[in-house]
Amino acid sequence: MRRMRLLFVNYEFPPIGGGAGYASLATARELVAMGHQVDFLTASAHGRNDVEQIDGIRVYRVRSFRRGLHDSGILGALSFLGFALPRFQGMSRANRYDLYHYYFSLPTGLLSCLPGAHHAAPYVVSLRGSDVPGYDPELDRQHRFLLPLTRRIWRGAHRVVANSADLRRLALESAPDLPIDVILNGAAASTARPSVPHPGVRILAVSRLIARKGLDTLIVALGKSGCKELSLDIAGDGPHLTVLRELALLCGVEDRVRFHGFVDRVGLAALHAQADLFVLASRAESCSMALLEAMAAGLPVIASRVGGSVELVENGSNGLLFKADDVAQLTAALRTLADDPAQRQRFAAANRTLVRERFSWRAVAIRYESIFEQAMGERAIAAR
């Protein structure tokens, strides 16, 4: 197996963005450990150098006018493309990469359509959710307008990879004849979760504060549960903070809901250690990194029955599932786990085992490595 020279491109990369940023970093880190060269082109972040080494990965950052750490907006996406293009072309000429890996078909994958040295090598596109038509209703207008471009990017790729079977199904509605692989996200396994004594039962939610994440449903269910020992920690920021604070007040649970804002990896580990269960109430989800990380940390989980969550959670085996937006079902699930610490322990043990055996980042990297090698082999045959 020869050493590959890879360029990963993602307009989100820690500390900016969400799960896709951490997924791309984790996959790149494993590929470097497996002996490959990985360069990374991404957006700038306050306090970070334009060029830096992270775990053997050479990271190049360019300007981007984002609305916030976890909120790009149209201007952030377009400005990233504008500033990334000259750096991308220069890196391609200088390094002669074997393959390009784009996270998000839009905006990132648009670079594959532009002229330059990168056309000498194949590319792979990883779909993450918001780049797939039909995933986020707020983006429907943009996706309808850009659908021909999206199809061109997908069809020009050696492989298109979705991070859940449900996201693959959704993508096929826009490109029915397209072969799409599925590679679920991974998580760093944890063999034990330190116990932090505290009164009551603490729920943890980790997400951007946007409508799609369903945190309003969770807050209402907390209020309707009647379980005074239940409290909620929410890690993440976003435009719905004020709305969610007001909802907590309206539901009479403002003293039991704690908004932590953006939390770094160390802080998140502490919140995992303090929590008794994790809830993902999303209205749409591809393959939630937050859910996988909670499972790896040994937390029992409750998740809405959407997207990739049903591929991670088997109802009654390692967690509970409920219909998205169904307050009554979520309320019942909260009561069930609040009243049954033994079941919480069973779910927690099952989740630690599941992540260790099926969802390691090394397994993810091996799948991608195989796809990359096939792409290079097919390109070599075509060039003869």
pLDDT reported for residue 9: 97
* Strands (DSSP E) found in the chain: 5-9, 37-43, 51-54, 57-62, 99-103, 123-127, 159-162, 180-182, 201-206, 230-235, 257-261, 277-280, 301-304, 319-322
The pair of structure tokens assigned to 167 is: 């996201």
Closest alpha carbon to 307 in 134, 103, 150: 134
pLDDT reported for residue 45: 79
Mean pLDDT, residues 310-316: 96
Q: What is d(CA 131, CA 107) in angstroms, rounded to the nearest whole number?
A: 8
**Second CATH level (architecture) for the domain 5-184+360-383:** 3-Layer(aba) Sandwich (3.40)
Report the greatest alpha carbon distance in the chain.
71
Query: What amino acid is encoded at 363 in this protein?
Result: A
Tokens 């260790």 — which residue? 356
What secondary structure, in 3-state letters, does 282-347 show?
Answer: CCCCCCCHHHHHHHHCCCCEEEECCCCHHHHCCECCCEEEECCCCHHHHHHHHHHHHCCHHHHHHH
The strand order across the sheet containing 201-206 reads: 257-261, 230-235, 201-206, 277-280, 301-304, 319-322
Instruction: Identify which has the larger pLDDT, 1 or 263.
Output: 263
pLDDT reported for residue 381: 67
| DSSP secondary structure code for residue 100 in this structure | E
Q: Are 336 and 304 in contact (CB under 8 A)?
A: no
pLDDT tens per residue across span 67-76: 766 677 788 7
Q: What is d(CA 230, CA 65) in angstroms, rounded to the nearest whole number?
A: 40
Lowest model confidence (mean pLDDT) among 13-22, 134-143, 350-359? 13-22
Residue 125, classed as helix, strand or coil, is strand
* Strands (DSSP E) found in 113-190: 123-127, 159-162, 180-182
Helix, strand, coil shares, percent, the chain, to 5: 45, 20, 35
pLDDT tens per residue across span 176-199: 999 999 999 999 866 445 566 778
In which residue ranges of the chain is CATH 3.40.50.2000 found?
Answer: 5-184+360-383, 201-358
Residue 118 has pLDDT above 90, yes or no: yes
pLDDT reported for residue 191: 44
Residue 384 has pLDDT above 60, yes or no: no
Q: What is d(CA 193, CA 348) in angstroms, rounded to the nearest whole number?
A: 10
What percentage of residues in the chain have a pLDDT greater than 70? 95
Q: What is d(CA 123, CA 7) in angstroms, rounded to the nearest whole number?
A: 9
pLDDT reported for residue 18: 81
CATH classification of 201-358 is 3.40.50.2000, yes or no?
yes
Closest alpha carbon to 282 in 208, 212, 219: 212
